Chains A and B, each alone.
Chain A
Amino acid sequence: MNWTIRVDWPSCLARGLCAELLPERIHLDEWGYPVINGEVTTDVLRHAKAAANACPHRALRLLKAT
């Protein structure tokens, strides 16, 4: 089963930890906000959870892919 990463945009303040913890799926745009590249597969799920938990503004959520 795959997961999708959703950003709570009003909460995100471009701290950038997510991109450091999940470079496989997240890079930062020119202003420092996350750009999500594809769904989270089991091989990176652990890192994705770490990224969501590390966000100081709780702006990342993992949702089951539909």
Chain B
Amino acid sequence: MSRIEAAPALADDGTARRSLIRRSVPRTVRTDPPAQVVANPGPVLLSGVLDGPSLAAHRDRFGPMPRLDLDSVLATVGAGAVVGRGGAGFPFARKLAAAAAGKRRAVVVVNLAEGEPASAKDTALALLAPHQILDGAEVVAHALHTTDVHIVTPADRPAVGDAIAAALAERASSTGRGRSRRGLPQWRVRAAAPSFVSGQARAVLELLAGRPGLPVTAWQPEAMSGLDGRPTLLSNAETWAQVAAVLRLGAQGYAALGTAAEPGTTLLTLPHRRDRDTAVVVEAAYGTPWADVLGTDVDRPVLLGGFHGTWAGAGALAHVTVSRDELRARGLALGAGVVLPLRLGQCPVAMTGEIVDYLAGQSARRCGPCLNGLPALADEVRRLALGDTSASWTRIGTVVGLVDKRGACAHPDGTARLVRSLLTTFDDEVILHLSGRCSR
């Protein structure tokens, strides 16, 4: 019980504790969505961004989307090795096959609820190339013989909802004059609450079912039993755009970029070098050296995969490419593609502490280990960051173990991953902090 008293984790609003943290550690991590998003033209998904987001420009550049049957879609996305871009990296073809195998008619969900403040890739797609996303969802819905397509947008990024509404209006009017709407999706758009966990798959399905959009326990994969128990193909917005790209180009054309094992491209979000309020979205072919993406920052420590991500130590990316496989072999993960280089003079322990503190506040507060464990973990890492010598490596390890994989969603797991990665990548720095010092 002494732990609970030391870290008043059971208090209903941790306001007192949070204000103490604010007084003690200067905030350097942005925990709001970026005020502005910048994206340069890219090779595939972002190839038409200079044409503008209109349907006419999109069709001029890419032509009409082919109508394909399920077998062709499965074969092509399988050969293109498209994996989910929401963070988990699950093969899209396997999810699609599971949804198609269900007895009931499938539901398609486009997840644009980008809950991670440091991520802006889905925002960029919605603003610059919304029809890439919609094409992917439309062709797969058609292959699944369903017209139920839901789009979930982030309420704290209203421009995304506006862009999607405008894109859907264009599509509706382009099929208006006497042309048949049969088989076309019945698009339905909902906004998810501004919270880190509201974009989680089950939270999105709860929202669509008319309940609070919070994570619940998944007894079966969504593709087998999702919305109203129907097979539900829920994927991240970039995944849908990648699906559209591979179906349009064919597996071979799609593989013109990338590597044999990982064809195509991936979107990454980086902070702007000078403007804290701006996020930069780039489209990188798999196999691109990190040095090309990061420039001189490649020699700095980098937090890969965002707030639920892993720390790459100084120079660890120097001879590594943008590759989920290569990163995995090094104990790193790309997640949803958020790349945060440590700034000069910034302490990785302090930065991790800030993030864990934010993540603790983002718990849906429904699962005991997350509700109690995340504030306890935040307290430990904060004391470590402040050089409080009562902080303990063993205690941090214990709390990490007590939150990992003990919730309805992966929020505690991701927080555990971040802290674990701090301890392994910056072990020297952590030891220094335990003796009350900091090298920065």
Of A6, A32, A61, which one neighbours B368 at CB under 8 angstroms? A32
How far apart sit A59 and B4, CA to CA, in the bound complex (Å)?
24
Bound form: Cα–Cα A29–B400 in Å: 12
From B216, B402, B407, A29 is in contact (CB under 8 Å) with B402
* Residues of A1-47 contacting chain B, CB below 8 A: 6-14, 29-33, 35
Please state if A29 and B369 are interface contacts (CB–CB under 8 Å): yes
Cα distance, A29 to B9, chains bound together (Å):
14
Closest to B215 in A: A10
Q: Whole-angstrom distance from the CB of B9 to the nearest CB of chain A? A: 8
User: Which residues on A sit within 8 Å (CB–CB) of B9?
Assistant: 31
- Nearest A residue to B403 via CB reads A29
**Shortest Cβ gap from B11 to chain A (Å):** 13
CB of B369 within 8 A of CB of A33, answer: yes
Within 8 A of A (CB), among B358-413: 366-370, 372-373, 402, 406-408
Taken together as a complex, chains A and B put the C-alpha atoms of A23 and B414 apart, in Å, by 29
Is B3 engaged at the interface, CB distance under 8 Å to the other chain? Answer: yes
Interfacial chain A residues near B370, Cβ < 8 Å: 9
Contact check, B406 vs A33: say whether CB atoms are below 8 A apart. Answer: yes
Chain A interface residue count, Cβ-Cβ cutoff 8 angstroms: 16
Q: Is the CB of A10 within 8 A of B402?
A: no
Chain A: which residue is nearest B373 at the CB level?
A: A31
Other-chain residue from A9, A13, A35 in contact with B217 (beta carbon distance below 8 A)? A9
Contact A8–B402 (Cβ < 8 Å): no
User: Are A9 and B3 CB-contacts (below 8 A) given A29-B402, A33-B406?
Assistant: no
Separation of A5 and B274 alpha carbons in the complex (Å) = 50
On whether the beta carbons of B406 and A9 are closer than 8 Å, the reply is: yes
A20 → B minimal CB distance (Å): 17
CA distance A8 to B408 in the complex (A): 7
Which of B217, B219, B366, B372 touches A31 (beta carbons < 8 Å)?
Answer: B372
- Nearest A residue to B365 by beta-carbon distance? A10
CA distance A13 to B370 in the complex (A): 13
6 residue pairs bridging A and B, Cβ less than 8 Å apart: A10-B216, A10-B366, A10-B408, A30-B4, A32-B368, A61-B219
Q: Which residues of B are interface residues toward A (Cβ below 8 A)?
A: 1, 3-4, 9-10, 214-217, 219, 366-370, 372-373, 402, 406-408
In the complex, besides A6-B219, A9-B368, A35-B402, 19 extra interface pairs with C-beta distance below 8 angstroms are A6-B217, A8-B408, A9-B217, A9-B367, A9-B407, A9-B408, A10-B214, A10-B215, A10-B366, A10-B367, A12-B367, A14-B368, A30-B3, A30-B402, A31-B4, A31-B373, A33-B369, A33-B406, A61-B219
